[in-house]
Every structure is written in C-alpha cells, then in structure tokens.
Amino acid sequence: MSRNLSIILVLAVLAAFLGYAAWKVLLAPSDLPPDGFARGNGRIEADLVDISTRLAGRVADITVREGDLVQPGDVLAVMDTTELEAQQMRAEAAVASAAAAVTVAQTSVTQADAKLALSQSELTRAGTLNERGIVSDEELDIRRTQAQLDAAGLAAAKAGVVAKQRAVDAETAALREIQARITDSTLHASQAGRVLYRLAQPGEVLGGGGKVLTLVSLGDVYMEFFLPASAAPRVQLGDDARIVVDVMADVAVPAVVSFVAPQAQFTPKQVETVEERESLMFRVRVRIPQELVVERLAQVKTGVRGVAWVRLAGSDGSVPDWPEGLTPPLASSLPAPPSKAASGTDQ
C-alpha cells in the first residue's frame, strides 16, 4: 500500500514539474518591454484608391503598369472621346448660332427704337397742328396710338435680345458640360502611389464608374496593432512611435500615434499570445511621416510585417524618453538611399 502511495506521489511531483516547465516555455510571458513602453505586431498598410471612369466609354490607352510609382497629376489612362468631340463641335456651332441670333435681335431693337422716335416726332407735330386746327382729333389719336404701339414694339425687341442671350448662356453651359466630360476622360493620379492592379485593358468598354486601376496610396502609410486595456488608455495621440519591420530589423522607422480606438473590441486573429487572446483589445494606428515616405518612396511596400513600439504616459501625463538600445537606429538619421524605380509591390 505504501509502495503504491509512493509511486503516486512521485508521479504527482513529476506531473507538477512537467506542467511548470510547459507553462514556463509556452505560456509564461518573456522578453517583456520595459516599464513605460508597449509594443504590438502589425503590418505596413496604406489606403487603396480605385481609379474609375466617370462616364461609360471605351478605354483608349493606359499609360502605367502594375508596380509603377505615380506622382500627383500623372496621366494614368485615357478614355476614347470621339463621340464627345463630335458633340463638342455641335455645341460650338449651337453657341455660334445663338450668338448670331442675339445680333439679329439687337438689330431689331435698333429698328424699333428708330420707329418709336419717328412716331413720337409725328405725334408731337400732330399735337401742334391740332392746336392750330389743321389736324383733327381723330388723326391725333391715331398718332398717339402708333407711338404707344412702337414703344411696346421696342420693349418686345429688348426682351427678345435678353431671351436670345439666355439661349447663348444655355448653349454655352451645354458646351462646358461636354468639355468637362472630355476633361474627365483623362484619368490623373490625385496623389503619390503605386499601381497595385490593372483592372482593364485598352479597347475594353466600361460602364460609368468602371474601375481601370487600383493604387496603393502613399499619402498615408501606417501600421495598425492592438494593445490591451491596461496599456491603450496610456497612449497619447501625437506621440512619437517606432516601427521595426521584419525585412529591415536593423532600422527603426519613426512614426506618430494618429489613432487610438475609443472602445475595445474582440481580439483579432493576429494577436498570438494567450494572455492577450483572453482579453479585449484596443486598435492603435501609428502613421509614418509623409516627408519620410516621399524620401524613400521606392522602398515603401505594404503588407510587410513588423513591430510597433509606443510610449505609455504616466499618471502625470509625462512619457519616458526612448532608452538607447530599445530599438535600432532611426531611419531618418541614416542617409537616404539612391532613388530608383521599383518594379514590384507587396500586398
């Protein structure tokens, strides 16, 4: 009996030892960041921008390929404008015709004005002769009525000029609308970016809003990661951060905290430790400064994984200084690489 009890005790101790060893190796936290600092896994991200057609039409040309870097204002694609150019010619002719009609209406005003002047002169003469008894009252009434008719004719002629001018305005507006459509048929890059997908080919017919290209916008490059409730409320907006990507582990990229989620959410799949998976997390975004992105535009690749470091504010709102050796040297303190076009992109 005592022998069996001894065996049970030995097995229990052995199981406890193995359990502790397993916890120590698999579950116990290790390599924790120093006090006042936090970190999280993430990947370099940027917004995707769809370059789409405003109007239905045929793609005439696409000037970029997948992986090309583009700058603001670069022409990316051109839609066929043959029909629009014909409509523009017709609209220009309509504007010219309406303008000619205004000239004719203005001539009518001149004629009506002269006719009114004549009838008023005859009315004045008839009035003088009527006082002398040479012209009858009936004749005087006729002259007076004629002057009134000519005055009305002048007013009608002037109104006709205004109407013709409004017709010119309407035709001009139609022309500008067609010109705007022609302008919109040339698709430009609104910001710096890299062509991720080429979704159409020259000769294809697309509907209004049809996608031609998808760009990775390099105007806002960032990394999102997740922090537990014990750390996220202590992260301050505008505070500087550090990003260390896996492919460049010897360089830290400076960043700025641009977003902290106002409420917690369920832990995402990319959080890998058990302790973090058991709690709700806050989403945090750190943004890489635009000037650094522009300086190293050819090196920027989205989808690259890494670690983001942030500082945690103390009870008085102060944050600790970055200790030497916590992260690699900052990329901004190293010489800029020679500029060269990159032909590929990761997503």
Show me where the domains of the chain are located. Answer: 31-46+219-332, 52-80+186-206, 82-184
- For the residues 125-139, what does the mean pLDDT come to? 79
Q: Where is average pLDDT lowest: 131-135, 168-172, 181-185? A: 131-135
At 279 the pLDDT is 64
- pLDDT of residue 190 exceeding 80, the answer is yes
Q: Where is average pLDDT lowest: 4-8, 30-34, 119-123, 221-225? A: 4-8
- For the residues 107-135, what does the mean pLDDT come to? 82
Q: Where is average pLDDT lowest: 22-31, 138-147, 157-166, 225-234? A: 22-31
* CATH architecture observed for domain 52-80+186-206: Beta Barrel (2.40)
Reported as a single tens digit per residue, the pLDDT across 281-291 is: 889 999 998 88
Note the CATH number of domain 31-46+219-332: 2.40.30.170
Verdict on whether the full-model pTM lies above 0.75: no
- pLDDT of residue 268 exceeding 80, the answer is no
At 345 the pLDDT is 42
- For the residues 297-307, what does the mean pLDDT come to? 81
Q: Which residues contact 328 (CB under 8 A, 6 or more apart)?
A: 244, 249, 250, 251, 252
> Pairing state of beta strands 75-79 and 193-198?
unpaired
- pLDDT of residue 321 exceeding 50, the answer is yes
Mean residue pLDDT across the chain: 81
- pLDDT of residue 29 exceeding 50, the answer is no
Higher pLDDT, 5 or 139: 139
At 25 the pLDDT is 41
At 272 the pLDDT is 54
- Band of the pLDDT at 27, cuts 50, 70, 90? very low
At 344 the pLDDT is 40
Q: What angle do CA 122, 128, 130 make, to 5 degrees?
A: 95
Higher pLDDT, 287 or 133: 287
**Side-chain half-sphere exposure of 311, counting CA atoms within 13 A:** 21
Reported as a single tens digit per residue, the pLDDT across 51-99 is: 999 989 999 999 999 989 898 999 999 999 999 999 999 999 999 999 9
Q: What angle do CA 289, 315, 283 make, to 5 degrees?
A: 45
- Band of the pLDDT at 343, cuts 50, 70, 90? very low
